Amino acid sequence: MSRLSLPLNAIDAFLVTARHLNLTHAAKELCLTQGAVSRKIATLETWFGFPLFERHARGLRLSPQGSALLPELHSAFEHLLMVADQAQAQQTVVRLKAPTCAMRWLVPRLLHLEQHYPELQIALTTTTDHTVNFKTEPYDAAIVFGTQLSAGDLLFDEALTPVMSATLIPPQALDNMTLLHPTRDKTDWSLWLAKQQTFQPAMRKNQHFDTMDLAITAAIQGLGLAIADETLVAEDIRAGRLQRPFDESVKTGASYRLVLRESRHKAAGLAAFRQGLLAVNPA
């Protein structure tokens, strides 16, 4: 028979059964039914063309061919497991928690990590939660957002500026545009307008969203004038999806930061993840 048809998944069943010489005990260890173990061994015997066990009333005995084959198969299977363990150790899975609003900044850097750090696998969870508790949450790293944060690495400070669809050229009368809010209140717009003198809309037409990412997306579609973080919309402006009708931006005192779990097992992988994410030019 072709080597490609060798039933590799049956070898473990043979090795376990050879150790117990009892199908019931082997089935329990393998978490299979006794019939499933018997079928796996029968498939392997068919492939080899000789019996691996001799069936007796009191149980099983290895056949002469099975006895001769057992040490070689055991050694080869152990080597296969060792190679798999080494490969798994080289692959670091980084469980990352990030706020949805940071995705516009994060995605290009995840592409950079994928290209330059193939040993890393990023398991991303997006959330509207801006904090993390490594004692109760199963993450290795997190991007957190808030004021008066000091832990971890500074990614960027929040600086708000109005943005609108780049297709609205020349811009329509800004005073009549719907103001798009990234929260359920008007805090961000009020903060920016407090620093302005020339643009003071009455806020008669407003649309509120649950996240800044949704407000930015609505602005790209031409729904209105959004207040957004200038770092988060930088790529949309470069790509011509958005424009800034005003040059001014206002810092809010909040920032985005990267924090990592202390992990001896994943120390090297997390260090590589941090280095890649903090790269100045991920492109």
Same fold? 92-154+255-277, 156-252: yes
23: left (phi over 0), alpha (psi -120 to 50) or beta: alpha
* Run of H or E residues at 96: strand 92-99
Residue spans of the domains in the chain: they are: 3-89, 92-154+255-277, 156-252
pLDDT of residue 89: 59
Looking at residue 55, its pLDDT comes to 87
Q: What is the pLDDT of residues 130-166, one digit of tens each?
A: 999 998 999 999 999 999 888 999 999 999 999 999 9
> 230 Cβ partners below 8 Å, 6+ apart?
159, 160, 161, 244, 249
Q: What pLDDT score was predicted for residue 268?
A: 86
CATH 3.40.190.10 fits 92-154+255-277, yes or no: yes
Q: What pTM value is reported for the model?
A: 0.65
CA distance 69 to 66: 5
User: For residue range 87-128, what is the model confidence (pLDDT) as tens digits?
Assistant: 655 568 899 999 998 999 999 999 989 988 888 899 999 998
Residue 249 and residue 160 in contact, taking contact as beta carbons nearer than 8 Å: yes
Q: Of 19, 30, 13, 12, whose CA–CA distance to 80 is shortest?
A: 12
Residues in the chain where the model's pLDDT stays below 70: 1-4, 85-91, 169-172, 280-283
- For domain 3-89, the CATH architecture is Orthogonal Bundle (1.10)
**Topology of the domain covering 156-252:** D-Maltodextrin-Binding Protein; domain 2 (3.40.190)
Q: How do strand 250-260 and strand 153-165 relate by DSSP bridges?
A: antiparallel
Contact 60, 19 (CB under 8 A): no
